[in-house]
């Protein structure tokens, strides 16, 4: 019986202590999670900001109050804004910004909630973009010449002209500003289309002409090479024929030199063979040989 009483007393003690401890803990402890901050106010007056994750303390309500703030990075895209570049070209630009709460106290005081921050940022960014891009040509944003492009510089200028002001005035840290979109006003697109069309026609004509020129070059080079090969062949052929003729002539000459008279005689007979053909008409007297042999008993 005494043991049961002791147990009950222990239990009462433990439960009472735990309940009391829990009440005191929840009234005074402030758990700041990673990615969050808590602004502690005393009777509505901001006291301090607990930005380091972990356990922080405050006096219980209604003396102190903790206001939770999301410290995550956030994306905000501005609207499409029409502006004029230094070379007087109308363009439509949209930028985006990666921001987070940098100074919770200023943020709460100047803006109040997160939706309000974006309205403030929009004005700030639009003004900065108009100012910055007005100092650069369109070729600083789009160009095939790397020397013209100044996108990094433009983004740095945008950051430099907005980040200090945003932190000081709104408690917002701007981590990154980028140009998200570069477009042309609707009325200017038609002119670009016309320019693109003209450029395409020019390219088509250029390709066609280049193709023909290149094909013609290849053909003429091939023909030249073929002619060179043929000429070389003909030269070699002529040399062979010449050498052969010389050798043939020498062979005949060597033989005929032995008896030029006989050679002349046989050549004359050969010529006769060649001279007299089926289309040759010979008019011979009947008293000449061999016809005369038929008339006399003895040949002349």
The footprint of another protein on residues 187-206 (CB under 8 A) is 187, 189-190, 192-193, 195-197, 199-201, 203-205
Residue 118 and residue 136: Cα distance in Å, rounded? 26
Q: How many CB atoms lie within 10 A of CB 226?
A: 10
- Rounded CA gap, 32 and 128, in Å? 35
Tokens of 97: 């910004």
Q: How many residues bind another protein (CB under 8 A)?
A: 120
Please give the Cα distance from 271 to 156 (Å, whole number): 106
Residues 161, 135: Cα–Cα separation, whole Å? 13
Among 120, 149, 161, 173, binds another protein (CB under 8 A): 149
- Tell me the window of 58-66, 106-114, 125-133, 268-276 that interacts with another protein (CB under 8 A): 268-276
User: Per rule CB under 8 A, is residue 66 in the interface with another protein?
Assistant: no
Asked if 146 is part of the footprint of another protein (rule: CB under 8 A), the reply reads yes
Residue 154: count other Cβ atoms within 10 Å of its Cβ: 22
When the beta carbons of 45 and 257 are compared against another protein, the nearer one is 257
Residue 77 binding another protein, by CB under 8 A: yes
State the minimum distance, in angstroms, from the CB of residue 121 to another protein.
14
DSSP 29: E
CA nearest to 101, candidates 44, 175, 47: 175
Residue 174 near residue 163, CB atoms below 8 Å? yes
**Residues in contact with 129: Cβ distance below 8 Å, sequence separation at least 6, in sequence order:** 78, 81, 83, 93, 95, 158
Using CB under 8 A, which of 8, 17, 109, 156 touches another protein? Answer: 8
Residue 86 binds another protein (CB under 8 A): no
Residue 2 beta carbon to another protein: minimum distance, rounded to whole angstroms: 10
Residues 245-264 close enough to bind another protein by CB under 8 A:
245, 247-248, 251-252, 254-256, 258-259, 262-263
Interface with another protein in residues 95-134 (CB under 8 A):
96, 98, 100
- 168 sits near another protein (criterion: CB under 8 A): no
Determine the interface stretch with another protein among 104-112, 116-124, 166-174, 180-188 (rule: CB under 8 A). 180-188
Looking at the DSSP bridge assignments, the partners of residue 94 are 181
Q: Which of 20, 59, 226, 293 binds another protein (CB under 8 A)?
A: 226
* 87 forms part of the interface with another protein (CB under 8 A): no
Cross-strand pairs, 179: 95
Q: Does 74 bind another protein (CB under 8 A)?
A: yes
């Amino acid at each position: 019986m005494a043991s049961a009483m002791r147990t009950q007393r222990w239990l009462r003690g433990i439960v009472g202590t735990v309940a009391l401890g829990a009440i005191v803990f929840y009234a005074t402890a402030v758990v700041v999670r990673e990615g969050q901050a808590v602004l502690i106010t005393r009777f509505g007056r901001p006291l301090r900001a607990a930005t380091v994750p972990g356990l922080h303390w405050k006096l219980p309500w209604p003396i102190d109050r903790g206001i939770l703030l999301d410290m995550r990075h956030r994306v905000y895209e501005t609207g499409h804004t029409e502006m004029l570049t230094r070379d007087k070209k109308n363009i439509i630009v949209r930028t985006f910004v990666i921001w987070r709460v940098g100074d919770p106290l200023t943020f709460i005081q100047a803006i109040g909630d997160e939706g309000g921050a974006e309205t403030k940022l929009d004005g700030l960014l639009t003004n900065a973009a108009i100012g910055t891009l007005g100092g650069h040509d369109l070729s600083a944003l789009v160009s095939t010449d790397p020397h013209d492009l100044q996108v990094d510089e433009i983004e740095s200028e945008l950051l430099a002209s907005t980040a200090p002001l945003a932190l000081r005035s709104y408690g917002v840290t701007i981590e990154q500003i980028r140009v998200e979109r570069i477009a042309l006003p609707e009325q200017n697109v038609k002119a670009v289309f016309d320019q693109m069309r003209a450029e395409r026609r020019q390219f088509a004509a250029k390709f066609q002409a280049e193709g023909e020129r290149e094909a013609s070059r290849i053909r003429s080079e091939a023909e030249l090479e073929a002619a060179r090969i043929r000429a070389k062949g003909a030269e070699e052929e002529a040399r062979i024929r010449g050498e052969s003729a010389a050798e043939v002539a020498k062979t005949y000459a060597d033989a005929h030199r032995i008896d030029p008279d006989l050679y002349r005689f046989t050549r004359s007979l050969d010529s006769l063979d060649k001279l007299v053909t089926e289309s040759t008409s010979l008019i011979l007297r009947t008293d000449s040989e061999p016809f005369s042999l038929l008339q006399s008993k003895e040949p002349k």
